[in-house]
Structure 1
């Protein structure tokens, strides 16, 4: 799909593509060679563009830094999305994002400047995450995990139909029906961002390569000719008040529950409540780490840490176990290099030392949460 648009005295050639389509990749290359634009705008953020051009980008990843900066979950989601796209691309013999690769190569051949025009993926995912409740977040994770098998049933005709959807939309089709934040953040906001970056790109003739799902929105905002505030679209909303309150209220309520046990039922009951708390949190966190095939030291650390971290709003059991796993099985260069291939299969996620660390963080935190939900009702039963 190619549209010719006039905007602010510029000629914009907008190409709507499917991200794993041979036809789209060829269309992009042919159009750039025919039009010889001054600039080529691509639906990539600056980080993604650098990663696409750097085949060894995984070697530079610091997994310990990722855990300390609390970005393990975002990285995991990124890898799941990359896995889905790569599985489909491998199935049809085309590299993920081949149309973007073609755009970059074609632009370099005619000495046209490449303009990364998308919002940073971390900002987009953070805005989605901050706009969702706990239940919505759980549904989002399940949707992404179950997407592992989704690509096995997709044929080449379906790939062409995907020109009408963003790849994130495809993965989150069921979730987005009931959660407008996904449609708003993944599509509408990025339509605005892309439109403004394309409109403000210097040059008289511009070729813009975007996913077809964004083309209608971009055309609408370009036609409106109203300046869009990119700074506002880059703001990561603060955590919701409810989350902040619960972050401190739950530990406070647990301490009050302990106190009530001692005061109302005596020392023996209060002590039993503490042991219930320790056992439930420790056991379930340990099970979570074990399911991620963590190192024995990591499993032990999750069992010890979970009862304490569940009462500390500033730290999570998964961060402790993730760091222990990172130091117990320090990822090697071969693990970093193998990430693109290992993320294609579930087995690969567990086999690779880097991705297994992410699983340890997520599963330990999930186990600790289940432990808390199990312990509280048992403790309440002890207070008559």
Structure 2
């Protein structure tokens, strides 16, 4: 998995984008009532029925104030256990932030994980850009919690759900028509020039703005909020409640503070961790539709050959190859692909157009990464290059991504035109 805070990629960068944009128009929101008398609203103390003390520390992932608050809270409270909003993969990432630079793009493409990498890249870059404005690396407060707990020999509980599960559940639970909005939000974030300061971050956390933003986000993307926020509130709360010791400090994102506090305080019944960690099986309807279209195309050409002659069927087959292959070839050229990549687009698109299992972008991206492998320096500048469109064609990594994305759309257009030509033949 590429960068550290990539726990739900497309949907999370969209949520961040949504929060920061909404903050600009909601600067007059009512203040949050501090849940703990005499303490910052970022810290929430809970006394459980079995007389254990749970201290929730709500943070912003790019805030120096949050980093200092985490340090001071752990130092002052000296808890039996520290819980952090991390999973195994993200813990490794914050301990070795340069690990992703050794990513083997060939392996990523072969495993059909390039789309995930793209989304994670945008999220990591977005967090990095926001962090640059506040002078704090994304997730510094979580790293501070882990480092300080290790230094003081305090047991650590990784309380978050596996990022891969969260991503897959989010995508599987989101209706197809809302997926376009998610992708649109991801694309819009690339061109977003919103700036945020440390002071503005604290305003978001200290006011009711964050809660109202989350509610509005839930109205727009209810399935995303359910998986990204509500389910993770339940998962995190379960891990925190079951953490060993009489005094627990839990470092969590500010967006989870209210939900987790409510669950623990009211002792709400929680679903099992297994039940919210299962990947829903996708409906077979789209594969059925895809194969039905494929069979209809082939059957139509065969019927044309039977009634109008082999020559006419050959013409339709050639038109299919030229329209789908030509469209993909045009996309590969726009992407700045190597001549061999362009040739692969031309040859493979007529075949991939007949199957719903794989797209032409898989072959063009794989070809491009073999003939123009990225340099180490380009991996190092990738998170900066992604925000400048003019660099997309200069960095070999982003060019591989372009070769993955660009051939598909014109190939689909060519496929539609070819189907229309076949229809006209009857």
**TM-score, structure 2 length as denominator?**
0.81
Q: What is the alpha-carbon distance in structure 2 between the residues aligned to residue 322 and residue 162 of structure 1? A: 41
Aligned in 2, Cα 1:217/1:317: closer, same or farther, shift over 3 Å?
same
What's 2:354 paired with?
A: 311
Aligned in 2, Cα 1:136/1:225: closer, same or farther, shift over 3 Å?
closer
What's 1:202 paired with?
A: 244
Q: What is the alpha-carbon distance in structure 2 between the residues aligned to residue 158 and residue 263 of structure 1? A: 71
Q: What is the alpha-carbon distance in structure 1 between the residues aligned to residue 81 and residue 416 of structure 2? A: 55
Q: What is the alpha-carbon distance in structure 2 between the residues aligned to residue 371 and residue 9 of structure 1? A: 67
What's 1:363 paired with?
A: 406
> Which residue, out of 83, 87, 97, partners 1:41?
83
CA deviation map 1:283-335 (0-9, x unaligned): 22223323332222112111211111121333321111121111111233333
What's 2:11 paired with?
A: none
Alignment map for 1:108-187 (pairs within 5 Å): 108-163=150-205, 165=210, 177-187=219-229
Q: What is the alpha-carbon distance in structure 2 between the residues aligned to residue 360 and residue 260 of structure 1? A: 36
Is the contact made by 1:58 and 1:337 (CA closer than 8 Å) also made in structure 2? no
What's 1:293 paired with?
A: 336
Q: Once the 2 structures are TM-superposed, how far is the Cα of residue 350 of structure 1 from its aligned partner?
A: 4.2
What's 2:105 paired with?
A: 63
Aligned in 2, Cα 1:260/1:157: closer, same or farther, shift over 3 Å?
farther
What's 1:2 paired with?
A: 43
> Which residue, out of 210, 226, 231, partners 1:189?
231
In the alignment, is residue 72 of structure 1 matched against residue 111 of structure 2? Answer: no
Q: What is the alpha-carbon distance in structure 2 between the residues aligned to residue 156 and residue 284 of structure 1? A: 47
Q: What is the alpha-carbon distance in structure 2 between the residues aligned to residue 204 and residue 363 of structure 1? A: 56
Q: Once the 2 structures are TM-superposed, how far is the Cα of residue 13 of structure 1 from its aligned partner?
A: 0.8
Is the contact made by 2:316 and 2:422 (CA closer than 8 Å) also made in structure 1? yes
What's 1:218 paired with?
A: 260
In the alignment, is residue 279 of structure 1 matched against residue 322 of structure 2? Answer: yes
Alignment map for 1:208-247 (pairs within 5 Å): 208-222=250-264, 223-247=266-290
Is the contact made by 2:170 and 2:223 (CA closer than 8 Å) also made in structure 1? yes
Is the contact made by 1:37 and 1:112 (CA closer than 8 Å) also made in structure 2? yes
Q: Which runs of 5+ in 1 are unaligned?
A: none
Deviating 4+ runs (over 6 angstroms)? none
Q: Once the 2 structures are TM-superposed, how far is the Cα of residue 265 of structure 1 from its aligned partner?
A: 4.1
Q: Secondary structure at the match of 1:150?
A: coil
Aligned in 2, Cα 1:45/1:367: closer, same or farther, shift over 3 Å?
farther
